[in-house]
Amino acid sequence: MPNSIKHLTFIVMLMIGLASFSQAAEKVEKKEALAKHVILVGSDGFGAYAFEKAKVPHLRKMMEEGAYSLKARSVLPSSSAVNWASMLMGSDPVLHGYTEWGSETPEIPSRVVGETGIFPTIFSLLEKQRPDAKKGVSYTWEGIGHLFEKPWVDLDYNGYSEENTLEKALEFITQEKPALTSIHFNEPDSIGHEIGHDTPQYYEKVEMIDGLVGKVIEALEESNMMKDSVIIFTADHGGIGKGHGGQTLVEMEIPWIIYGKNIPAQGELEFPIITYDTAATIAYVLGLETPDVWRGKPVIDAFEKESD
């Protein structure tokens, strides 16, 4: 082969090599949001077991037209703050340090703290990586107020009733078009403590929560936002008798339902979900990098498979 041809061959090979290298690099770096808006709806004490007896048409619609698991698990103990913390902080209690039902500060020093002094939540990822994106929290139980970076959210509202919590959240969603809104309902946990789990009164509250979820879907549809949104419905724990916190599956198993943009109708997921996978899944939907101290995995089985 004459030298000039050898030279040309080398250049062509080099160009092909560079092209495939840059494609590979692009694949790794490219993190596109899969939806513009994520609405996380969490219902305190809503055990996965409730689906056997409750009439929950709105949640059923989300399950049929989206994806779900009724075998998602809480972390231990199966109590409130420790689980809400894990859900928003994408990690395990041994790392974030919130370990009790009413933890306001971590009992174990958080392995990592951000600028506001707490373990990094999903809200901090948005703050750092997409500073222009709006984000907010509306919650009926004041305990939630200790579990996110207050200075960084555009809505921090502790509602005086479930309806009021919802009303404020929907006003925020439709007016501000936020990237992330977290809504916390305090039922059916209260009735579970007062009257008992798996009682007619418990199912009444479960069905009331289903009605509120219906209002979230309705508001998103009416404001033409549903086509760009993902709704995740889950809970912190279930319960047994008048309590929870223990190691039975009726206390630990929680619903995990995802519905909306880029979520094909595929019903039940096999993926073994733990509550800290919720934060990782939200990060995945919003195209955010997650920190090493997180332990959650995105529930990628729920999403449209890439066509290439």
Site size toward Zn ion, by CB under 5 A: 1
Q: What angle do CA 288, 289, 293 make, to 5 degrees?
A: 130
Residue number with the shortest CB distance to Zn ion?
Answer: 189
Q: Confirm or reject binding of residue 162 to Zn ion (CB under 5 A).
A: no
Beta carbon nearer to Zn ion, 143 or 178:
143
8 Å CB contact between 68 and 62? yes
Stretch that binds Zn ion, among 87-95, 135-143, 184-192, 219-227 (CB under 5 A): 184-192
Q: Confirm or reject binding of residue 189 to Zn ion (CB under 5 A).
A: yes
Q: How far is CA 207 from CA 58, 59, 162, 198, 202, in A?
A: 10, 10, 13, 13, 9
8 Å CB contact between 139 and 167? no
Q: How far is the CB of 211 from Zn ion (least distance, A)?
A: 21
Beta carbon nearer to Zn ion, 211 or 245:
245
Beta carbon nearer to Zn ion, 42 or 114:
42
Q: Confirm or reject binding of residue 251 to Zn ion (CB under 5 A).
A: no
Q: How far is the CB of 99 from Zn ion (least distance, A)?
A: 15
Stretch that binds Zn ion, among 1-9, 67-75, 188-196, 221-229 (CB under 5 A): 188-196
Which of these, 126, 122, 36, lies nearest to 87 by C-alpha position? 122
Stretch that binds Zn ion, among 70-78, 181-189, 274-282, 296-304 (CB under 5 A): 181-189
8 Å CB contact between 230 and 260? yes
Which pairs count as long-range contacts for 112-116, CB under 8 Å and 24+ apart, including other chains? 112/291, 112/293, 114/149, 116/149, 116/150, 116/151, 116/152
Stretch that binds Zn ion, among 84-92, 158-166, 187-195, 258-266 (CB under 5 A): 187-195
Query: What are the residues binding Zn ion (CB under 5 A)?
Result: 189
